[in-house]
Structure 1
């Protein structure tokens, strides 16, 4: 795992986002950096390599495959994780809450997200 992945995992592990995440989880022929099965949410950390020629197209193809197969994709920059991992976690929590609001993307077996302002333990 890269340093940004390790830093984000420290934020996600133990249900700190209000949901359980797995790291390096296979989805079809792809490996998601992090995956929340309850929300079908894949999180990808994009480093400098994602700006190189051809990589943008590969990322778009990967995202299209995942979306066609019922997964949500959230991309975050490695630089953002390095600068403010807590802010990235807040963005992930907001995305999870959005998924619940717009159609209950969380499976029935999912643990409810904590209320706003509640401790994320």
Structure 2
């Protein structure tokens, strides 16, 4: 079983919440994939048409080591031609509509490049 398949089968609560708002082209018709491979990483969500990656970050992403790892991960994903935006679990819990609006705005900016 691939790492992407395993991650799709065991989403975090925040990932599951966001996926309910993105799946089936629910974000104004934009298609997203979840747990999609990009270079050597598996990203949380990717809109291939807009070359946009959405990463969901929990509390463990705040340590200095995690921040360095996330920066390297972002560098590699951006080198593959994607823009990376990060959303945190608290924003997903408290403001899902705002997170969806932020993602939609990023998709629309990427679509016009």
TM-score range, shorter chain: 0.7 to 0.9
TM-score normalised to structure 1 length: 0.80
Residue-pair matches, total = 102
Which structure dedicates a bigger proportion of its chain to helix? 2
* 2:41 is the counterpart of 1:30: yes
- From 12, 15, 26, the equivalent of 1:2 is 12
Distance across 1 between alignment mates of 2:42 and 2:97:
24
Does 1:50 pair with 2:85?
no
**1:11-30 counterparts in 2 under 5 A?**
11-18=21-28, 19-30=30-41
Please give the secondary structure, in 2, of the residue aligned with 1:39: coil
Distance in 2, Cα, partners of 1:39 & 1:99: 5
Unaligned stretches of 5+ in structure 1?
104-121
Tell me: higher relative CO, structure 1 or 2? Use CA pairs within 8 A at least 6 residues apart.
Answer: 1
- 1:91 correspondence with 2:105: no
Which structure would you say has the larger Rg? 1
Name the CA distance, whole Å, in 2 between partners of 1:25 and 1:37.
10
Runs of 5+ unmatched residues, structure 2: 1-10
- 4+ residue runs over 2 A deviation: none
Matched position secondary structure for 1:38: coil
Q: CA separation in 2, counterparts of 1:36 and 1:4?
A: 18
Structure 2 CA distance for aligned equivalents of residues 9 and 72 of structure 1: 19
- TM-score of the aligned structures, taking structure 2 as reference length: 0.86
